[in-house]
Chain A
Amino acid sequence: MALLELDGIAKHFGAIEALKGVDMRLEGGEVVGLMGDNGAGKSTLVKIIAGNFPPSEGEIRMGGAVKNFHKPVDARAEGIEVVYQDLALCNNLTAAANVFLGRELKRRLGPFRILDYPAMYARAAELFKELKSETRPRDLVKQMSGGQRQAVAIARTRLTDARIVLMDEPTAAISVRQVAEVLDLIRRLKDQGIAVVLISHRMPDVFAVSDRVVVMRRGAKVADKPIARTSPEEVTGLITGAIRTA
């Protein structure tokens, strides 16, 4: 039974058909590159899996059981974590505050439950160390470099035992050295049996880490094949429509 199964997922925004009946399967420890031109429906698909909005048609199943996500928190409760394209960080808060946003650690103080700063700083420092990032838990996000901000967004997905990590263009805005680090991290997630969906425009990144590539075009899936049986040329053809299906 697949970790995640999408069955005939469609999404309409008024008259616009963003997704037309997409099927997809995802197994634990699998890295899937999701590719397509702007407006092909990649982000819409990821947002549906992440619970940002429900599909107009179709079914999401995890381990065979049908799931209906109404809010991002619902998907997170099932072990689905997302690194958003804009990273979804609050610039005015510290790195640790961003990592724990929405699920702060608390401790009892008499009848009150107060924020457990020492525990959050310690855990955030551990996570940054695991990610080999020089980010410090007490630094404000607005003072950070692109790579450090990326590390904060990724550290957030490591807070609980995630089963699926969705990454929307994680390598778009960072330096070459940092790209290598993010790709390394994806490999480490895979080793731990976590499934990763990597949305990217950068062909070399996708081919470097993915087991399988899924290509979307105009809201439909036009290809879904192991990376070993395709090539950057074929994927480019599929993205632009020069090749119909594969």
Chain B
Amino acid sequence: MLTQSTATPTVASHAAVEEVTHLRERSLRQKMLTSQSFWVTVAVLAIIIVMTLYQPAAFASADNFFNITRNFAFIGIMALGMTAVILTGGIDLSVGSIMGLVGVVCGLLLQAGHHWALAIGAALLAGAAAGAANGVLIAYVGLPSFVVTLGMLSIARSLAIVLSQNKIIYQLGPYGDAFDAIGGGDMLGVANPVWLLVVMALVFGYVFNFTAWGRYLFAIGGNENASRLTGVPVKRIKLEAYVVSGVTAAIASVMIVGWQGSAINALGTGYELRVIASTVIGGASLIGGEGGAFGAVMGAALIEVIRNSLLMAGVDSNWQGTFVGLFIVLAVLLQRIRQRPAE
């Protein structure tokens, strides 16, 4: 940390310059210690260890592990898409409502007797369309992402209520069982949504770090004007980020409707804040240009582990919001402390 503040090479000899610059190149260990996702992982492991010692029977059971991982899988999947948006310096407040709309679309198609593959296809399409509407208004018309996605939050929820005629959809038709098995099933003792989260986290981590598309998300969040001048297709990339966010909301919705076996239009209410909280706790900066797939997943895991631990420890469940809120503020504080030496 201290080495960075002495960085300006005003020294006379060339060897000294080399010495100073050498210190500035970050080793893997330094990188790890300054990364927020590393500390969030440490926090998750610490809570798990404490709770295992404290309540070995209830907390450290296979059942509880199954529940915890499945509960944060839905949020984690959405947090991956949200990370793409937040990297560009934007925000997507509409993911919870998109989830509700997509759930109703799925439910209605299954109820009408359509194949589960059609329902999933339509779900992904609906999520992509809502994301594209956000993206076009933000990237091409130039409206602020906060306002546009706040509008979509209202519109998608309202459409969900209108389409469902404000009724819960229980009857998922002849293909309902197959559909439920996708979101509600498990393999090797781990719930399907968790497997999906793992696969998607690997894919997103790969895309963020090893493709030009991912590199451009970081560049746009770092300096949008510079990105435009150097030939980054800024508008297209921003549009695509919102489409990706809409699609991840749709995927989470398909999984959650399958798990619950019914579609309600209130599905996903308030989820946008949990998703944003996950990405921020995991190290994403709301100014853009910083964040990652692993951090987003660990952020979601931390929130769920805290929630579960409080329940197990017998703390009144109404305290959960306070603890989660504290962790959000702590995460931002930690980010500020980490960044200070660089500026």
Contact = CB atoms under 8 A, between A and B. Distances in A.
Contact of A101 (B232, B289, B290): B232
B342 interface: yes
A180 to B, nearest CB: 15
Contacts of A102: 227, 230-232
Q: Chain B, interface size: which category?
A: 20 to 34
Interface stretch (A23-31, A33-41, A140-148): A140-148
B223 interface: yes
Size bracket of the A interface: 35 or more
A90 B223 contact: yes
Contact of A72 (B7, B211, B231, B343): B231
B32 interface: no
A156 B7 CA distance: 23
B18 interface: yes
A136 B223 contact: no
B65 to A, nearest CB: 34
Interface string B196-235: 0000000000000011100100110111011111111000
B229 A52 contact: yes
B295 to A, nearest CB: 15
Contact of B215 (A82, A88, A104, A136): A104
A142 B230 CA distance: 18
A76 B221 CA distance: 23
Contacts of A136: 21, 24-25
A136 B226 CA distance: 21
Contacts of B166: none
A82 B230 CA distance: 10
A134 B17 contact: yes
B4 interface: yes
- SS class, residues of chain B in contact with chain A: helix
B9 interface: yes
B322 interface: no
B231 A134 contact: no
A103 B222 contact: no
A227 interface: no
Contact of A88 (B8, B218, B223, B342): B223
Nearest to A82: B229
Nearest to A101: B230
A71 B25 CA distance: 35
A134 B9 CA distance: 9
A97 B215 contact: yes
A226 B111 CA distance: 82
A191 interface: no
Given A84-B229, A101-B219, A101-B232, A115 B212 contact: yes
Q: A-B pairs with the 4 shortest C-beta distances?
A: A90-B222, A102-B231, A88-B226, A92-B289
5 contacts: A72-B230, A90-B222, A91-B223, A101-B219, A104-B215
Interface of B: 4, 7-9, 17-18, 21, 24-26, 210-212, 215, 218-219, 221-223, 225-232, 289-290, 342-343
Given A72-B230, A88-B225, 13 more contacts: A52-B229, A71-B231, A86-B226, A87-B226, A91-B223, A92-B289, A97-B219, A101-B226, A101-B230, A102-B230, A115-B215, A136-B25, A143-B342
